[in-house]
Structure 1
């Protein structure tokens, strides 16, 4: 395949000054020789997604190269001659089999970006810490167990990604990385949140998910510019109240931990728009959560919540509330004040009724109430103008079921009912306070579809309304019965005595 020439001033002759060559996805085994014909003018070279194994020495005679992309090849080593690329600004060697970065990479003084993810490096050379112009460094999945002690020399670095390694600590010299805005240490072996992080005052994104961190320390309270925090899939049992000082936080993910409570200072995070707290051990949410005036999405599924705070009615920007798999017995009427609420999911709780104020949710599109103990629905639900899906059972065939008005014999109030009401919940074990594995098994069991006819009714004489299962076998039997009945009817016209038998099948026709 021919190379793609870009940024060429004209097409006058073969001696034109070619600045960019692109050989991406060309099934190359070697660097094409024609590259070296433009060593004087070449500034950008794309060789990604090929099968190149070796880098020839003439490649490093292209002293004007500013961008070199070698990702997704079969390269195992970087020649020391790379130091001759003194104008190189971007180097992408990701997705190769490189075992070592040469120490004399320090000669590439102009490097701003290094992408070396997905290589079996194991360690970094000291020379890399001398690249003082470096602004972005990507080292995800590189088998790192530690960083050089002098890593703090990279004082201009803004983005540092270290995901999916074997790191347990960060060097103290990293306190000098005062320009850092994104730090990703997810999927490592940290048992504590590194203290040096608290000194990175310009940090905007902090990813520490999928470690073994037990608490978020007070030092994080100094990250006043922090906007995104992901500490999911850890062993978190405690969050320091000082986290409430991170007033610019807008996206918080604390899913799959062991949190039993949140600090009341969470109410100070008034810029939060997304808060994910699912798969924890929370028994209550702080009343101060009503102060999160910008909150749009709240996910608290798979906890031990017995109720929702009344202050939830103050969340006027909330459009998604998912509180599945809890112990909620009562929904506060104040939820009717969440005027922008579009999705409300309360599946598998212990609700016996929902308040009339639900009818005030003019923006509500999806309402999931399956797996509760509802006797009926308030008549106000019929007034929801935008409702598109009402889930009352896991095995519904349609998102909306026809509702009929009725009168509650106990209160005389007008109500709504259907063949799925009153609900008869399936009794299954809950183990939200145990290990995460127990929760996953419990979750899987809940996702299995069961028919209401399989439920044992303890109260004799109680009618359970449920749709009749109609599998293929029953269809086949019905068709056979229909044909047999027709034959019997035809026989009756000829004077046979079989019409009486035919009547027994007429209900199947």
Structure 2
């Protein structure tokens, strides 16, 4: 290692010599971290090792192109003012830049055939050189972490048009950027398993090309208010397991939603959805569906035919009624319907949901206890003595009929017109009935 002529004192020079020594093997890992100690204005890298626990503030970095065996380059803030050309690094696998303040990285004159992990955090970058995504010979081994991550880079706007030429990334994260859309060629990254897009306030379009991602299992999109729709082709991906699209401008879901036989978990909460496609009834493996905080006035009847559905959250919508047939949802345990406009006359067959553990009907327009409470709830849980939790709080309910005493439930009546002195409530407390009432 050669250093500039501004090393503060001989003591530091000795420390550097102790921490970095010549080696028979060329350098394979460079990590520079700023702890605001021992500032060095210039650092020229040749074939010296950078090891040990000593870290230095470096204002420029030169000579990386000579480290032909370099595998990892990991630099923390503040990044050197001028990043040199990183060409001729055939073994570089991982590039991690934090708080790089330049707008552009130097355009390399060579390629990086082994590069499979790119992490950009914070800083002023607006794009990445296309050469970083040049074709490679083969995918890395299964034990290697592969990712393209750009986080909290508020000036970043553009991925190059050719990321599909480097099909090695298993996880792609674009979060906290100024990106407006992703390149169509992203669909060429056939190895990708997870896509995360969060807090991109200008993101308005997801490319149709994602249909070609034959290994995609997870899509997570949130806090992107300009995104109003999802491409129908996304649901041609037959490996998709988890879909989270939260706090965007989404107004609906494509009718192709039901084509993804593998889909288990869906969260589309805090959007502007007004309808759900009838095809949802074809999602035989769907276990959790969350669509709270939307504008949904009615549910498709097919939603009652989901055999694997475990958790259904439709709270904070505009529902006035529920479809009959909910009793056919044999696996349903949690049904959350608070803060809607539900009226009396809810389906009595809710009592047939054999594994039911909780139903929340708080903050609706119910004037009497639902008829399904006239039956024993949770009958399929013979080995479970716990009561089914039924929340009727903040409804204009005035009385409780005696038939409710057989419901095998804990019924929350806080904020209703029912008094703790109600005769039926008193009888439940005195007779050890199979029901319990709460008012707090």
TM-score where L is the length of structure 1 = 0.65
SS of the residue corresponding to residue 127 of structure 1 reads coil
Contact 2:375 2:407 in 1 (8 A): no
Contact 2:120 2:151 in 1 (8 A): yes
Which residue pairs with 1:92 in the alignment? Answer: 74
Query: Aligned partners of 2:30, 2:209: CA distance in 1, in Å?
Result: 44
Q: 1:201 to 1:86 in 2, by over 3 A?
A: closer
How far has the Cα of 1:371 moved from its partner?
0.4
Residue 418 (structure 2) aligned to one of 440, 445, 465: 465
Q: Structure 2 matches for 1:190-201, cutoff 5 A?
A: 190-201=179-190
User: Is 2:115 the counterpart of 1:134?
Assistant: yes
SS of the residue corresponding to residue 232 of structure 1 reads strand
How far has the Cα of 1:210 moved from its partner?
2.5
Unaligned runs of 5+ in 2: 1-11, 140-145, 422-440
How far has the Cα of 1:417 moved from its partner?
10
How far has the Cα of 1:110 moved from its partner?
1.9
Contact 2:223 2:248 in 1 (8 A): yes
Q: 1:417 to 1:59 in 2, by over 3 A?
A: closer
Unaligned runs of 5+ in 1: 1-27, 396-402, 424-450, 453-463, 469-509
How far has the Cα of 1:391 moved from its partner?
2.7
How far has the Cα of 1:264 moved from its partner?
1.0
Q: 1:109 to 1:380 in 2, by over 3 A?
A: farther
Q: Structure 2 matches for 1:54-453, cutoff 5 A?
A: 54=39, 61-63=47-49, 75-94=57-76, 96-100=77-81, 102-127=83-108, 130-153=111-134, 155=136, 158-165=146-153, 166-211=155-200, 212-234=202-224, 235-353=226-344, 354-374=346-366, 375-377=368-370, 378-379=372-373, 382-384=376-378, 385=381, 386-387=386-387, 389-393=389-393, 406-407=402-403
Query: Aligned partners of 2:407, 2:21: CA distance in 1, in Å?
Result: 83
SS of the residue corresponding to residue 266 of structure 2 reads strand
Query: Aligned partners of 2:75, 2:409: CA distance in 1, in Å?
Result: 63
Q: 1:416 to 1:61 in 2, by over 3 A?
A: closer
How far has the Cα of 1:38 moved from its partner?
7.4
Count of equivalent residues? 386
Q: 1:182 to 1:138 in 2, by over 3 A?
A: same
How far has the Cα of 1:74 moved from its partner?
6.5
Q: Deviations for 1:446-482, whole angstroms, at most 9, x for unmatched residues?
A: xxxxx66xxxxxxxxxxx23679xxxxxxxxxxxxxx
SS of the residue corresponding to residue 162 of structure 1 reads strand
Residue 36 (structure 1) aligned to one of 13, 17, 20: 20
Query: Aligned partners of 1:291, 1:49: CA distance in 2, in Å?
Result: 54
Query: Aligned partners of 1:35, 1:137: CA distance in 2, in Å?
Result: 27
TM-score where L is the length of structure 2 = 0.74
SS of the residue corresponding to residue 256 of structure 1 reads strand
Q: 1:383 to 1:420 in 2, by over 3 A?
A: closer
Query: Aligned partners of 2:14, 2:57: CA distance in 1, in Å?
Result: 10
Query: Aligned partners of 1:44, 1:388: CA distance in 2, in Å?
Result: 58
Query: Aligned partners of 1:345, 1:188: CA distance in 2, in Å?
Result: 34
Q: 1:188 to 1:30 in 2, by over 3 A?
A: farther
Contact 2:45 2:62 in 1 (8 A): no
How far has the Cα of 1:285 moved from its partner?
0.9
How far has the Cα of 1:60 moved from its partner?
5.5
How far has the Cα of 1:359 moved from its partner?
2.6
How far has the Cα of 1:271 moved from its partner?
0.9
Contact 2:44 2:62 in 1 (8 A): no
| Greater RCO structure (CA 8 Å; 6+ sep) | 2
Larger radius of gyration: 1
How far has the Cα of 1:129 moved from its partner?
6.0
Which residue pairs with 1:478 in the alignment? Answer: none
More strand by share: 2
Contact 2:321 2:342 in 1 (8 A): yes
Q: 1:230 to 1:69 in 2, by over 3 A?
A: farther
Q: 1:227 to 1:286 in 2, by over 3 A?
A: same
How far has the Cα of 1:344 moved from its partner?
1.8
Q: 1:216 to 1:355 in 2, by over 3 A?
A: same
Contact 1:405 1:415 in 2 (8 A): no
Q: 1:340 to 1:128 in 2, by over 3 A?
A: farther
How far has the Cα of 1:321 moved from its partner?
1.1
